[in-house]
Amino acid sequence: MDKPKIERAIRDILEAIGEDPDREGLKDTPKRIARMYEEIFLGLEADPKEHLDIYFQDEKHEELVLVKDISFYSSCEHHLVPFYGKAHVGYIPKDGKLTGLSKLARVVDTIAKRPQLQERLTSMIADTIVEKLQPHGVIVVVEAEHMCMTMRGVKKPGAKTLTSVVRGVFQKDAKARAEAMALIDFGR
């Protein structure tokens, strides 16, 4: 990431809005924002598949594994303001290709830390798991609040956007889909 370029750009923006980028409170802001961008856009420099170590296990578990309420923060690519919420990620492993539970959350983080669309975030999580683990099926549900819809524009705080993607058996099997959705709803 080109941090000096980000710093110059932020300085320009501060000037363009009529601020003095050299005043005490702002003088370190371009540097700070460059550091912050490096953190919140970390996923641009990473391949989410790298997280999905496969653990081959003797005991074959070919039933649903679902990690729900994985919190994430992402950036809306239209306005570069945050959208954030929870991702629920389930898969049915095949041929003993299991991964670590935390690895599913790492995939979510890597894909979230880019300028993003909620729809693309959702389908990329599913497709990454399909590619690497070749499971019987994958289901991903994402619920998020978009700051571009709350702090500005249409101003609807509390509005939630839900997106879901299913792959493999979940596409054909309504019962499997209903079971996963019931687990995601469980305890609410």
Ligand X SMILES: Nc1nc2c(ncn2[C@@H]2O[C@H](COP(=O)(O)OP(=O)(O)OP(=O)(O)O)[C@@H](O)[C@H]2O)c(=O)[nH]1
146 is catalytic: yes
Any idea which residue has 């710093």 for tokens? 7
What is the DSSP code (8-state) at residue 114? S
Cβ–Cβ < 8 Å for 66, 183: yes
CB 57 → Zn ion: shortest distance, Å? 42
Give the whole-angstrom CA distance, residue 163 versus residue 1.
30
Decide: is 117 part of the binding site for Zn ion (CB under 5 A): no
79 is in an annotated binding site: yes
Backbone angles phi, psi at 61, to 5 degrees: -105, 110
What is the DSSP code (8-state) at residue 171? H
Give the one residue of 14, 76, 89, 111 binding Zn ion; rule: CB under 5 A: 76
Contacts to ligand X from residues 73-92, by CB under 6 A: 76, 78
Residues tagged in the binding site annotation for Zn(2+):
76, 79, 148
Q: Which residues are catalytic?
A: 76-79, 118, 146, 148
Write out the residues near ligand X by the rule CB under 6 A.
Answer: 76, 78, 117-119, 146, 148-149, 153-154
